[in-house]
Amino acid sequence: MKMYTIGDFHIHTNYCPHGTMDSMEEYINVAIARGLKEVSFTEHAPLPKNFQDPAPERDSAMSWSDLSNYFVEGEKWKQKYRDQIKVHIGFEVDYIEGFETDTRSFLNQYGELIDDAILSVHMLKLPDGSYVCLDYSADEFKRIISLFGDVDTVYQAYYQTILKAIDADLGAFKPKRIGHLTLVEKFSRKYPARNDFANQLEPILQKIKENQLALDLNTAGLFKEDCQTLYPNPRVINRAKELGINLVPGSDSHEAKTIARGYDQILGYFS
């Protein structure tokens, strides 16, 4: 089918502590079986060493101790399957407000080894200076709403943090693609915002265009019970297309069987 002639550019691995133990080779074999021409392994980059993961299970990112093995294994599969599929090795990098120097240092150290990368916001800074993990669970999101005061304030904080991520000086190896732009909508069916945030998204899209960044067209939200739509949502996707912003498809898979999942619902955006 035509939808499988493109790639999946947002894939996690067994190095992710909140994913499955499916091997990188298993992901590659599923991708080949589904006719993909390219895949990007974009594992959650290690969090800054002096940053405490605010997720309840502290399982947001890969371990620093796994970095070497990640690159070595990635290169192994890249070479083994080079005649069947193009394999990219990289990261989904967290933008964490206040830790820009640490992130820049990480990217400067490993940037030359990275084929592809995504810049995402999962962590929000609270007024008291502590942090929360936005997308951990519906129950945790409910707690986050109480900490911010109301759901609309959470949305505002998220989109303000996205703007800071776009503007941040993260060095020459800063990722050129923004991950799941409307991730804050993950629990929107259970905790809907009162207001329309189109007025906040328009300047974000303008900045993405000005900075020649791409958008992660992420199908994972379709399969989240309290979301059931793409990241970003279709209205934002259409506006991004009007602005000429490049859309890069990704399943955000944390298990091999979900490679290219939901691609039947995004094919039209690439016609």
Model pLDDT, residue 2: 36
- Residue 230 CA to its chain's centroid (Å): 13
pLDDT band at 1 (very low <50, low <70, confident <90, very high): very low
What is residue 86's three-state secondary structure? strand
- List pLDDT tens digits, range 163-181: 999 999 999 999 999 999 9
Rounded to whole angstroms, the Cα distance separating 261 from 50 reads 36
Does an H or E element contain 165, and which? helix 151-167
DSSP state of 193: -
End-to-end CA distance of the chain: 14
- The arithmetic mean of pLDDT across residues 8-23, rounded, is 96
Other C-beta atoms closer than 10 Å to the C-beta of 257 total 11
**CATH number belonging to domain 2-270:** 3.20.20.140
- Annotated domain spans of the chain: 2-270
Does an H or E element contain 242, and which? helix 234-243
Whether the pLDDT of residue 35 is over 70: the answer is yes
Six-digit token string for 121: 């916001």
pTM of the model: 0.96
Average pLDDT score over the chain: 96
